[in-house]
Each structure stands twice: as structure tokens, then as C-alpha cells.
Structure 1
Amino acid sequence: MSVDQPRVAALVRELIEAIGEDPARPGLVGTPDRVAASYAEFFAGVGEDPAAPLAHTISVAHGPAPETEPSGAVILRDIQFRSTCEHHLLSFLGIAHIAYLPGSAVVGLGALPKVVDILAARPQVQERLGEQIADTIATALAARGVLVVLDASHQCVTARGGRQPLASTITVAARGALSEPAARSEIIALIARGGDPGTDPR
């Protein structure tokens, strides 16, 4: 399902009139079409299958000898995302950290940000977004455990109401073995280390 851009543009013209402005004045003439094009990007994930990027997996157990069994977590930190709060249609921007314990297969690391992008590109709340990312990865990869940490700044908090420009929201979604407090805390500690790969944090 794609965004009906002509319909969005017509509704934006009405909105401009409703706030007391003139959609025909030079500064606003192109605004309805620009907003419609933006909405097509912001909501491109509506109706899309978030598991599609995870369809091609790589066997962990089978490959060049010796064969092995998966053990530790795969962690991808600092995935930038943008979404739209469904309550005010204002943006929230943030960072996603994803960890999973593979079953018999892993997925290319570039697939994980695509899952985030698809699920973020629809009207959302942060709490649901994290849960949907975790469910998608857990199901599509038959992962033994999944942990998703989102840290985002919401315009509905920073730009309206209480106007708290420095406030951010952190949510955690966990599945399987990573729902256990000890396992979860170990992964969160690794995520929090930050820095360049291979850098000694001491």
C-alpha cells in the first residue's frame, strides 16, 4: 500500500486554510506537494513485511570445518532511525541497539537496520516499535533470545507541551533467553561500552 500523495496534498491545502493561512501565497504554494512527498517517505513502511529483509539466512552450524554450534550474542549498536508519533504526527528520532542469540542461522548485519526502517516508517509509539522489532527477529530467525533497546527524542515532548528539549526516552524489549535479568544486563553493558570496535575502554 502506497501513500495517496494527491489526496494528502489536497488535505494539506485545507489544513493551511484551517490555520488561517493562504495556500496560494508564494511561500506556501508548493507546500502541499512537499508535505505529500515527505509523508510518502515517512510512512513507506505501512503494509510492508518487516521480516522480508531477514529471508536470506546464513548457516552457523554448517560451513568450513570444524562445524560449530552458535553460542554468544550478535550485537549491532547505534542504528539511527526516524519514526512518527501516532498521537500528534510529530517525529521522534533515535538510536536502536539490537542483540540476538542465533539459533542455527544468522542474518547479514545489513538486514537488521532494514527491519527497523520498515517498522519505524509508519505511525508508531516507541514502546510498540521495540516490541515489533524484537518479535520480527525472534520469529524470522528462530532466535534463542532477542534484546532491543531504543533511545529516542520525541518532538511531542521537546517542541510542545512541557517543552523539554533534552529529554529522551529509553525502552527495552526482550525475548527468550535475553529476557533473563543476568543475560540482559550483560548485553546492555556491552551496548553501553560504546567506542570504536577493538578499543580498550580502560
Structure 2
Amino acid sequence: MDTSAAKANLEKLDRQVTREEVEDAIRTLLIWVGEDPYREGLLETPKRVAKAFKEYCAGYAMDPRDVLYRTFEDAVGYEDMVVLRHIPFESMCEHHLAPIVGNAHIAYIPVGRVVGISKLARLVDGYARRLQIQERLTFEIAQAIGEVLKPKGVACIIEAEHFCMKCRGVRKNGSRLTTSHFVGAFSSDHGLRQEFYQRLRCEALPTGAY
């Protein structure tokens, strides 16, 4: 299904499902796990959870790429790597609706224009505030920067802890997943990637992570 068709279906679904239906579904879940949704401590829980999910998934209400269109051209002549490290984010695993918590590290090599660094952080949040898998999140961030800014190259590395692995199943607390995606010069130039890795290591990333 293409993106426009998927968005149309989401909009249609959003019109069909009421807030009351969402809250009833949460009460059903509470009953299913053995709780009484009408006891005092849980009376407001369906309302709170419904509101929280709108916040967790706020990225569906925007095109994250839009934040990149306001750029600065007074950086003409700067052709070195721009690196923004340790961008914290929270997302949610689409398989278990469990949190994904981590940091994104982004680099790009501008061609004539740069973007405000807060916009890179907003871009990460825009894609993270959706049901995600980390591999896709990494790809979407790098591709968006490449498509909008058209730099010489883009690199994105994400390290994150997945609560679906920490709190259930194998219960491996402390394990972290590292993913990367490279566009343009970063994809073809091994030395450029190594320079990016080195800049990240200077900020005390885990030894041997790469």
C-alpha cells in the first residue's frame, strides 16, 4: 500500500473510532488481565491511556520532513561534516506496544545550506513518535535528510533499549540494539564513515560498538 493510501485509511479509521470506543477497549484489556476497571485507582486509567497514546503516536499527525525546509544559506563554503550526537528519543515497538528508548547520532555534509540543529532533533521525534521498528526509524531519518537537504552524504546511527526484550520474553535487561544507515558519500567512502565513528567515540560511546 502506498503512503497516500495508507494515510487515507488512517484518516478514515480516525473518524470511525471514537474516544469512548478507545476507552472501552482499554477497560476490556484491564478486565482481560484480571483487574476491575471500576475500582477507584483505575477509574480514570482508560482516559489517561487514550490521551497518552495520542502523545506517544503524535508523529502520525505530521510530515517530519517539513521541519527541514527552513535552512540557512550563510554557511556557504562550509563543507565539513556536521554532527549532532546523543539525540534522546522515545518510541514504541509496533510488535508489542512496548517502549523503545535510546539516542540517535546524525551527521551530514552540507552543500551550500545547513539546517538548525533543533530541527534535526524534531525530525527524530517526528519519526520516533510512531509505532516503529528501529531499523525503519534509522532509515527514515537518514533518507529524509538526504531528500530534503540534498547534502553530499548523511549518516544516522541509533542505539536503543527495547522494553519488549527487557521486560518480557528473554528479559535481557541492559541489552541495546545499534542500527545504522548511510546515504551518498557516507555510503561509498569508508574513510568518511570511520571519521564519523571516531567523532562518536570521542563522546564515550561503548568501546567496540562499531
| TM-score scaled by length of structure 2 | 0.85
The Cα offsets for residues 69-93 of structure 1, whole Å up to 9 and x where unpaired, read as 3321100011000000000000010
> When the two structures are aligned, how many residues end up with a matched partner?
189
Measured in 2, the distance between the counterparts of 1:106 and 1:161 equals 44
Unaligned runs of 5+ in 2: 1-10, 205-210
| TM-score scaled by length of structure 1 | 0.89
The answer on whether the counterparts of 1:5 and 1:40 sit within 8 Å (CA) in structure 2 is no
The Cα offsets for residues 104-146 of structure 1, whole Å up to 9 and x where unpaired, read as 2100111000000010000000000000000001111011100
1:191 equivalenced with 2:205 (yes/no): no
Partner secondary structure for residue 160 of structure 1: coil
Measured in 2, the distance between the counterparts of 1:175 and 1:189 equals 18
Residue type matched to 2:203 in 1?
G
1:151 equivalenced with 2:159 (yes/no): yes
Measured in 2, the distance between the counterparts of 1:139 and 1:151 equals 23
Unaligned runs of 5+ in 1: 62-67, 196-202
Which protein is richer in helix relative to its size? 2
Measured in 2, the distance between the counterparts of 1:8 and 1:181 equals 49
Measured in 1, the distance between the counterparts of 2:183 and 2:196 equals 13
Residue type matched to 1:168 in 2?
R
1:125 equivalenced with 2:133 (yes/no): yes
Partner secondary structure for residue 185 of structure 1: helix
Partner secondary structure for residue 46 of structure 1: helix
The answer on whether the counterparts of 1:60 and 1:70 sit within 8 Å (CA) in structure 2 is no
Q: CA RMSD in A?
A: 1.6
